[in-house]
Amino acid sequence: MSIQWYPGHMTQARKKAEETMEFTDMVIEVLDARIPAASHNPVIEEMRLFRQRPQLKILNKADLADPKVTQDWLNYFNAQPNTKAVALSCKKPGDANKIPKLCLGLAPHRGTHLKPLRMMIMGIPNVGKSTLMNALLNRRVAKVGDEPAVTKSQQRFDLSETMSITDTPGMMWPKIEHESDGYMLAASHAIGRNAVIDEDVALFLADNLLKTYPALLNARYKLDAMKLDVSKMDGVDLLEAITKRRSYKRHDGLWDTEKTAVAFLTDYRSGAIGRVSLESPNSRAAMIAGEPTENSPIDS
């Protein structure tokens, strides 16, 4: 099943973003550190390149991602022109304070009273833009929620007398090209639940993590205590094991696979499974080239 999600209000958000970018000096794109490429909106890149604006890529939720893979992504992005990448957690006190200095480094001709630095923060839904805005301004100015597309309109704020920032709504693109991207986005809660089937997404995630982080799954779900060999399991086996271990049953006595799927996705999203990444630069390149990715993202 191919996952697609492009709510109607995002068309207007795109038009407004295109207008605002003309009067912006640089773009701050917030990505999910666990899926940096899948969570990159190609429409933002088109706008940025058209206006020739430098960019700061923030790999947010870095505390949930595999640190080795995150470093690989930082090396990858920092090799690109007019780009600086940094990994942080917007919920971690002090992390957001690094951003203004990094932005000034990308636009050294701005940041004065005569030429204030005008920044624009962009990204897909639920990657932490609102949390970042609140941290930057040290007050609650943006609504934060656990569902995608909470922010619906642009807001502009002054960080200082020489710096301003425009917060934009989370924005998807009209068609997700790669099927696995849709599943990674859904697993990471960037797509509305009305567009996905939790059991399908959980199965995709289980298959992915069994290939890349079997030890973490074994530790989290005590699979060896159930006399299960994690190296011989597939996604269906893992979800069945979790269902039985936690005794998830419906009122009719049958196993509750839907509850298992939601619980497994919640464990991933919260970091309960451990620090994991669903893609690396190498696995991304192999996926696009149509090669097998059994050893990604750890073997990057």
Structural tokens at position 103: 């932005």
Task: Round to whole Å and give the CA distance between 98 and 84.
Answer: 12
Is-contact 260 239, C-beta < 8 A? yes
Does pLDDT of 78 surpass 90?
Answer: yes
Structural tokens at position 65: 């991602």
Task: Round to whole Å and give the CA distance between 218 and 52.
Answer: 48
Q: What was the pLDDT predicted at 222?
A: 95
Strand boundaries in the chain, DSSP class E: 26-32, 55-60, 83-87, 117-123, 155-160, 163-167
User: Mean of the per-residue pLDDT values for the chain?
Assistant: 90
pLDDT (tens digit, 9 = 90+) per residue, 225-244? 999 999 999 999 999 999 99
Give DSSP secondary structure letters for 23-59: T-SEEEEEEETTSTTTT--HHHHHHHHHHT--EEEEE
143: Cα within 13 Å, side-chain hemisphere:
13
Nearest to 125 by CA among 60, 46, 209: 60
Q: What was the pLDDT predicted at 270?
A: 96
- Using the structure block, give the residue that is written with the tokens 């050294």: 108
Task: Round to whole Å and give the CA distance between 44 and 66.
Answer: 26
Q: What was the pLDDT predicted at 291?
A: 62
What band does 214 get if pLDDT is binned at 50, 70 and 90?
very high
Nearest to 33 by CA among 78, 72, 1, 2: 72
**Residues sharing a CB contact under 8 Å with residue 276, sequence separation 6 or more, in sequence order:** 34, 64, 65, 66, 209, 212, 213, 216, 268
DSSP, collapsed to helix, strand or coil, labels residue 300 as coil
Task: Round to whole Å and give the CA distance between 291 and 205.
Answer: 19
pLDDT (tens digit, 9 = 90+) per residue, 259-270? 999 999 999 999
**Residues sharing a CB contact under 8 Å with residue 207, sequence separation 6 or more, in sequence order:** 234, 235
- Which one-letter DSSP state was computed for residue 194? G
pTM of the model: 0.90
Nearest to 131 by CA among 99, 176, 175: 99
What band does 194 get if pLDDT is binned at 50, 70 and 90?
confident
Count of residues for the chain? Answer: 300
Q: What was the pLDDT predicted at 135?
A: 87
119: Cα within 13 Å, side-chain hemisphere:
31
- The percentage of residues in the chain with a pLDDT greater than 70, rounded to a whole number, is 92
Is-contact 214 267, C-beta < 8 A? no
What band does 146 get if pLDDT is binned at 50, 70 and 90?
low
Domains for the chain: give ranges and CATH numbers: 9-167 (3.40.50.300), 197-289 (1.10.1580.10)
